[in-house]
Amino acid sequence: MAIRNDQGIVLRSYPFGEADRVVVLLSPNRGKLRTVAKGVRKTTSRFGGRLEPFTHVDLVLYEGKNLDTITQVSIIEGFPRLRADLDRVVAAGSMVEAVDAVAQEDESSLRLFLLLQRGLRALDSGVVGRQLITSFLLKLADVVGVAPALEACAACGRPEELATFSFSSGGVLCQRCRGDRGMKLRPGLTEYLAALERAEFTDLPEAEPSLVSDAMGVARRFVEYHLDRSLSSLAVLG
């Protein structure tokens, strides 16, 4: 058995045995990491609040047969302002849930890690709202290789006569390719989604509330379709 160092952002944790917790993290080097924090359910735990969700921590791990055990934790970035605001906590929960759904164990995930870190930093700096979640989901889809076609037909690549959006075809379809597939798009929606996908989290484009809401609905359904699971925390955001 060996000692090793790693780091990660805490995604969630759950009780394990009498007094321990399994802490699930996203490591930039190793993807989803399941570790054991011993004795954390005692009030005198030496880890304190350092293993709360969203915390970016540096770890010393004792390698085990199945799960590695955390022997030391120090906080790299704690995102304290995010935690002081319920809307931001809910948004962070959605980001973490989506990341948890796509991350794989034993697979390097630097882009996914950096995306989550940027998302949490944006929330910590005061950015909040449906635009942020929509932009996050679209970037996440890109990182895992299922980015929706938004500016050209998903079937033939033509940028003209874009008519419908099809979840199963992977994005917009033109008049010629649509057949009976897809749902009709309101004007400006795909352009707005494309702008949200490209934008920095700290410089997200504004739009009228109903367009913002529709964009989030499409991004959410698209990601859920391709992950083949629903993201329950997004329901809270509507």
Footprint on this chain of Zn ion (rule: CB under 5 A) = 153, 155-156, 174, 177
Listed residue (32, 217, 10, 225) closest to 96, CA to CA: 10
Residue number, 155 or 212, with CB nearest to Zn ion: 155
Q: Shortest Cβ distance from residue 150 to Zn ion (Å)?
A: 14
Q: Shortest Cβ distance from residue 195 to Zn ion (Å)?
A: 22
Q: Shortest Cβ distance from residue 167 to Zn ion (Å)?
A: 16
The residues with which 60 forms a beta bridge, in sequence order, are 5, 72
Residue number, 31 or 182, with CB nearest to Zn ion: 182
Q: Shortest Cβ distance from residue 220 to Zn ion (Å)?
A: 25
Residue number, 3 or 156, with CB nearest to Zn ion: 156
Cα 200 to Cα 188: distance, rounded to the nearest angstrom: 20
Q: Shortest Cβ distance from residue 178 to Zn ion (Å)?
A: 8
**Burial per residue of 130-147, b for 16 or more beta-carbon CB atoms within 10 angstroms, e otherwise:** bbbbbbbbbbbbebbebb
Report the relative pairing of strands 162-166 and 3-16 from DSSP bridges.
unpaired
Listed residue (144, 200, 190) closest to 166, CA to CA: 190
Residue number, 176 or 229, with CB nearest to Zn ion: 176
Q: Shortest Cβ distance from residue 224 to Zn ion (Å)?
A: 24
Tokens read off for 188: 């400006």
Residue number, 61 or 153, with CB nearest to Zn ion: 153
| CA dist list (Å): 115 to 64, 94, 133, 152 | 29, 13, 12, 25
In the chain, what are the helix, strand and coil shares in percent, each to the nearest 5? 35, 25, 40
Residue number, 115 or 153, with CB nearest to Zn ion: 153
